[in-house]
Each structure stands twice: as C-alpha cells, then as structure tokens.
Structure 1
Amino acid sequence: MLTSDESRTSMGRSLLKILIGPILFLLMVISPPLPLVEQASRVPGAPKAPQIALGGLLWIAEWWVTEAVPLGLTGILAAALFSLLGYVSWSTSLTSFTNPIIWIFMGGFVLAAAFKKWGVDKRAALAIAKLYSGGDPALVAFFAASLPAFLLTITGSITASASVVFPIALSLLTLMRASDQYVEATMLALGEAATAGAMLFLISTPPNLVAKQVLESSIQGFKLTFLDWIIVGTPQALIGLFVTWLIVFKILKIPEKRVEPPKLLDEKPLTLEEKLVLAVFFATLTLWILPGAILLASSLDARYEPLAKTVTTLLPEAAPAVLAIIALGFIKTKKGPLLTMDEISSGIDWNVIFMFGGGIAMGYALDSSGFSNWLALMISKLGTLDIYSLSAVAALIGFAITFPASNTAAAIITVPLVASIAKGMGVNPAYPVITAALACSISSALPSTTPPMAIIYGSRKVKASNMFKVGMLADVVRLIILMATEPILVSILLNIKGIP
C-alpha cells in the first residue's frame, strides 16, 4: 500500500504527464512562425496552420507515449481537437472511426475470441508441438514454444498467441523437469517468436494495417492486399523467427545436451463447434487472399481484368471481416451461438479501435493544414534522400518510438510522418511507410516494448538482464536486415503492380 508521500508523488507524476501535451500545443500556438511554415500553409487566413497542427501532433503523441489517459480516449481527442481547429470537418473526423479498415481490426479480434472460447488455439498449439519428436533442446523449444506462438499470430493478435502458448509450453517444460536456464531460454524464444509473428500477415498486428491505410490514402488507386503483404512483410517475420531463436540459444547457455521430448496426451476428436470456427476462419482467410490472387492473375493475363475489377469492388478487405463477425454470431449449435453478441463486443479491443480512428483523423488534418508540405520543404533543404536512406531513417524513427510507446502508437505517429516526407521529396511512400511500420514491431528488449515480452516476464522465469541482452542483439540484427532488404521487397511488389 502506498504511503501518503508516495501517493502524492504518483499523483504529481500523473498530472505532469497530462499537462506536458497541452503545454507543448500552446507553445506552438503562441510561438512566432517557424521557418517556411507560412509558405506551406493550406488554410486560408491561418498562416501558422502547419505549426499549430504540429502542436496538436505533439500533444496527442505525448499522451499516447506516456499513456497519460486511456489510448482510445486520446484518439477521440485527436478527432475533436483537429475538427475544432478547422483542419478537418467533424464529418470526416468522426467517420474515421467507421473507416472500412477498422472492420478488419474487429474481424481479427472476433476471430481470436472464437478461437479462445472453443479451445481451437490450444489445440493448434499442441498439434504444432507434436511436429518434432527428437531430443535436441533448441529444436524442442522451437516446436513446443516458438513455432506455435509464431503461427497463432494468424488469428490477428500477438498478445493472444503468446497468452495461449505460454501456459502450454510451461506445463510441457515442467513435465520434462527442465532446468531453470532451459525454461528461461524457451520462454524468451516464445516471446521473441510471437513478436516476430507481428509481421506474418496483414492482420497480425495493428501497425501493418496502419501502413495499409496510410498508403491507400496517399497513393491514388493503390491497394495493399493480404497477398501483397506476403511479399513485403512475411519474409521479415520468418527472418525474425529464426534469427531470434538462434540468438536466444547462442547467448544463453543451457546445461541440457539432450532432452526427452514432452509427452503429449492424445487429443479428443474435433468438436462440431471447433470445426465450424475453423471453417469460418479458413473461409475468411480465403476471401482475404482471393482478390489479390485474381489481381495478380490479371496482371499476367488481361482476360482476367474484368473479373479482378468485379471481385475487388464486391469484396474489399473489410468485407470478409464483416462476414466473419456475422457468421460467428449467426451460426448456432446445441451449445448456442459460436459467439454471443456480448462475447463479440467484449472480444474487440475498443481502445485500439478508437486510437486507430483518431490516428486516421489526425492524418487527414496534418495533410489539409499544410503540415505535410512544411515537412517536405524543411527536408528538401537537407538534400534528396534515396529510397534506402529514407527507408533507413523511417525504420530508425519507428523503432526508437516503440521503446517509450506501444507499437500501435509508434506506427500511428511515425507512418503518416514518413509518408509526408516521401511525398514531399517525390519518392514513392511505399518504401518508407512499409519499412517504418515493420520497424515498429521489432522491439523486444524490455517487458514494456511488446505484450508477448511482458507476458513471459510475468512468469518470473525470465531475468530482465537476459531479456535485455538477448532482445537488444536480436533487435539490432533484425533492424539492420530490415533496412537492407525491405526496399528490395517493396520494389518487387511495385514492379508486380506496375507502379514506378
């Protein structure tokens, strides 16, 4: 229990976190115009509009980074603040919270809730653990902990995947009577794998969808599909999985030279409910991939172009998510619906939804105020950057912000920023935007950087010093690989799409 002095100190810190943002905003409002601000303004009669918009960005960013107030509430504030300033209409800012991309979020959350309710996630984790029956300690850890956590991010939540696999892996290690060092290494490998899985699919973590939304609003006619993500994101996820696993078992010395693989009980047959949940999941995944596949076919054979246009129009990425939610609530068995409306509602992380909607509204406002123009003018004074340099800068910014902030907050702050810089410099924003979004999902050196690392640290089986040592090395290696390879992957994607 806190003493009165400790309580006052805590309240003082909380108040300070709340006040810093508005103070930064007011400083931008009353300060003389910054260089080139007046030339960049797009708001008639408001020559300092880009500077005031910067103040709003600093306010919102500070509250997101420090979590001075709930993240979702700050997202609503972003929409209200920029509407009151007149940089975006109330209609535009409020409809940001019903942006089609938000339905992809909700679909992922609801699918994860169905997996959890009927035990499909645990069954999948145990099935993956059965793939290896040898005695190599590192490989046992890989198949029993790393690979299940990595693959379960397909449900749309790295937090859920780590939460599911963590108790299963811990139970298996207990049955094996593993040493403390081996348990620690396996837990670290699990957390790192779930973190790497954030890059696996477009729905695996919010920053991926932030990149999608920003690119589709920045490039006329551009669509970043689920199939496209397999080109630009999935390779980085696979690299992260193997790099982190190798680093964990290279850095941490374990006494086991060989272990007896865990004995897994035979699973009962799939229940009807599990089969139905899996059917909905695979149907949704197929519908997510189908438009991209047909578009790819149309680029190779012009006869498929009419079909591609029809499918893309009738089946945008939000549609399968909506259909999945309807199906999970509509389909009933003797045990009731696959998900009740209360379960659908509680399965959605509304904090993330409101945060993301506020980020979209803020992005509109920053552009309409002239802030994007101002950024471009300022950077043009430094000279032109090539796609590698710009992507590297974007990656470093995104990666750095994830240490004090969540990966979602880091992406919402960083991705629109680097898109503005790229447009101002005449560079296709796909390069820095995708690189920055991926960089926001790398950090793993501290429990606070990503939920999977917080989950394994909460087990009390992992020392903070070892998490930092392994995490920093893994983060740096993955960041370097990202900066070196992502522009190449984006270039391949753009060439396939016929975009210069």
Structure 2
Amino acid sequence: IELEIEGEVQHNWRTAVVAITFIITVLLWICDRWTGVGSNTVAMIPIVVFAFTGVIKARDLEEINWSVIWMVAGGFALGLALNESGLAENVIKSIPFGSWSPVIILLASGIICYILSNFISNTATAALLVPILAVVCKGMGDSLNSIGGTPTVLIGIAVAASVAMTLPISTPPNAIAHSTGLVEQKEMMKIGLTMGIIGLVLGYALLFVLGEMHVW
C-alpha cells in the first residue's frame, strides 16, 4: 500500500488549541469519578472550543459523512430502545441462568453479547447487558466463585463486545472504513467474523485462566 500525503504540519495557534483541548478532554474522561462530569458532557467540550475558535468551520461540517454518523447513532438508538422498553431485561430473565454452571453462564453471556453487538454497536450492547448481568450475577451469589466471580462475567461482556465487527454498524471504525467505498460489506462480514471468532476464543481462554487464578 502506497500513501501520498500532501501538505505539512503547521505549528500555529490552532495546533496549540487542538493539543490542549485533546489533553483536557482525555483527562476529564479518565477523571470522571472525581469530577462528576459525564462522558457525554465532556465530549461537547471539543465541539464548543473548535466552533468558537474557528478551528472547525462550516465547510468542514459539510464534508462530514453524516450518513455514517446517523448509521452509528441508529445502533445506539436500537440499544436504548431495547433497554428502555424492558425487552432486553425480559429476554435475559427468560433465560434460566440460575440452573446453569458458571462456565456456561460465562460463555452464553459472551455469545449473546457478541451477536447483539454486531447489530446495535459495541458500546450500546455493553451498556445494555452489563447492568442486567450484574443483577443476575449478584443473585447467583457464591456459585460464580469458581470462575472468578461477577468481574469475570462482566469483563467477558467487554471482550465479546470489542471483537464484534462484522457489519459497518458494529463500531464507528467499521463505519468509517465502509464509507470510503473501498470495503464491501460482504468482505467486512467475512473478515470480521473470522477475527471475531479468534478474538472470542483467545479472550475467553485468557479470561477463564485469570478467573481460575482469582486474579481479581
């Protein structure tokens, strides 16, 4: 692959504004536990700063691929709808987790998360399933100790959601890659499914070992 990038980096006041804003935004995201400012609110800071300082202008906004943004936002909307309507909770409760072995619960929750995450975005799926499974795990008590307890199941959700990338809607990087027109959806599905299976096997194998060792 040969890339030709024309132009050069300009060191001016705009560079300083972007650098400082970037650092402040990341620090606020990391320190939200102490500041009490939510990640959504923090995400507005760059928008406000860049708009008022003129770093981003109206023409820049016109060049944004809004269809990709709406596609990703649609995935979040589906996740919120499943949660707010109670459908997701009813589906989870209909599964007899209490009668299953801890290993089956770990694997089943990961598979459910992986399937959902391919259709309603990684972040939305994790935000949807983690609170529900936390309640389920709490109700199971000490029976999960053999696999490391509740943290193992919840970290498994994060792993499963992170490796789901078969569709453009699965995660913003996929959507951006698809928007270039250089990646077809069938190609993304084939490669994404392969990488997802490899990621699930490796991730859950490591997770199971660490859980057995009671690392957390």
Corresponding residue to 1:148 among 112, 127, 144: 112
**Residue type of the partner of 2:107?**
F
For residues 33-54 of structure 1, what are the alpha-carbon distances to aligned partners after superposition, in whole Å with 9 as ceiling and x for unaligned?
Answer: xxxxxxx985xxxxx8633465
Query: Could you say what secondary structure the match of 1:252 adopts?
Result: helix
**Residue type of the partner of 2:173?**
P
**Residue type of the partner of 1:239?**
I
2:71: which partner in 1? 104
In the TM superposition, 1:446-457 aligns within 5 A as: none
Residues 149 and 233 (structure 1), Cα distance of their counterparts in 2 relative to 1, 3 Å cut: same
Q: In structure 2, what is the Cα distance between the partners aligned to 1:149 and 1:115?
A: 13
Residues 251 and 70 (structure 1), Cα distance of their counterparts in 2 relative to 1, 3 Å cut: closer
Query: Could you say what secondary structure the match of 1:82 adopts?
Result: coil
**Residue type of the partner of 1:209?**
A
In the TM superposition, 1:221-232 aligns within 5 A as: 222-232=181-191
Give percent identity, aligned residues only: 18
For residues 224-275 of structure 1, what are the alpha-carbon distances to aligned partners after superposition, in whole Å with 9 as ceiling and x for unaligned?
Answer: 3433321333322222222221111112227xxxxxxxxxxxxxxxxxxxxx
For residues 353-375 of structure 1, what are the alpha-carbon distances to aligned partners after superposition, in whole Å with 9 as ceiling and x for unaligned?
Answer: xxxxxxxxxxxxxxxxxxxxxxx
Is residue 71 of structure 1 aligned with residue 43 of structure 2? Answer: yes
Corresponding residue to 2:104 among 128, 139, 156: 139
Equivalent residues, number: 195
1:58: which partner in 2? 19
Q: In structure 2, what is the Cα distance between the partners aligned to 1:170 and 1:157?
A: 20
TM-score (norm 1): 0.33
How far apart are residue 184 of structure 1 and its match?
A: 3.4
TM-score (norm 2): 0.68
In the TM superposition, 1:66-465 aligns within 5 A as: 66-67=27-28, 70-78=42-50, 81-83=54-56, 90-96=57-63, 99-126=66-93, 129=95, 135=101, 137-143=102-108, 145-177=109-141, 178-180=143-145, 181-197=148-164, 199-213=165-179, 216=180, 222-253=181-212
**Residue type of the partner of 1:73?**
I
For residues 143-179 of structure 1, what are the alpha-carbon distances to aligned partners after superposition, in whole Å with 9 as ceiling and x for unaligned?
Answer: 1x22222222134343332333334434444554414
CA RMSD of aligned residues (A): 3.6
2:32: which partner in 1? none
2:38: which partner in 1? none
| 1:149–1:193 contact (8 Å) kept in structure 2 | yes
Q: In structure 1, what is the Cα distance between the partners aligned to 2:75 and 2:48?
A: 22
**Residue type of the partner of 1:70?**
V
How far apart are residue 96 of structure 1 and its match?
A: 4.5
For residues 112-163 of structure 1, what are the alpha-carbon distances to aligned partners after superposition, in whole Å with 9 as ceiling and x for unaligned?
Answer: 2222232332344456x569x864x3233211x2222222213434333233
| 2:168–2:174 contact (8 Å) kept in structure 1 | yes
For residues 186-211 of structure 1, what are the alpha-carbon distances to aligned partners after superposition, in whole Å with 9 as ceiling and x for unaligned?
Answer: 233233223333x3432222233344
Residues 126 and 230 (structure 1), Cα distance of their counterparts in 2 relative to 1, 3 Å cut: farther
| 1:155–1:204 contact (8 Å) kept in structure 2 | yes
Gaps of 5+ in 1: 1-39, 43-47, 84-89, 217-221, 255-462, 467-500
Residues 230 and 102 (structure 1), Cα distance of their counterparts in 2 relative to 1, 3 Å cut: same
Q: In structure 2, what is the Cα distance between the partners aligned to 1:62 and 1:96?
A: 25
| 1:152–1:161 contact (8 Å) kept in structure 2 | yes
Residues 230 and 124 (structure 1), Cα distance of their counterparts in 2 relative to 1, 3 Å cut: farther
Query: Could you say what secondary structure the match of 2:205 adopts?
Result: helix
Larger Rg: 1
| 2:114–2:163 contact (8 Å) kept in structure 1 | yes
1:492: which partner in 2? none
1:420: which partner in 2? none
| 1:109–1:157 contact (8 Å) kept in structure 2 | yes
Residues 245 and 98 (structure 1), Cα distance of their counterparts in 2 relative to 1, 3 Å cut: closer
Larger RCO (CA under 8 A, 6+ residues apart)? 1
**Residue type of the partner of 1:66?**
L
Q: In structure 1, what is the Cα distance between the partners aligned to 2:144 and 2:82?
A: 32
**Residue type of the partner of 1:203?**
I
Residues 49 and 147 (structure 1), Cα distance of their counterparts in 2 relative to 1, 3 Å cut: closer
Query: Could you say what secondary structure the match of 2:168 adopts?
Result: coil
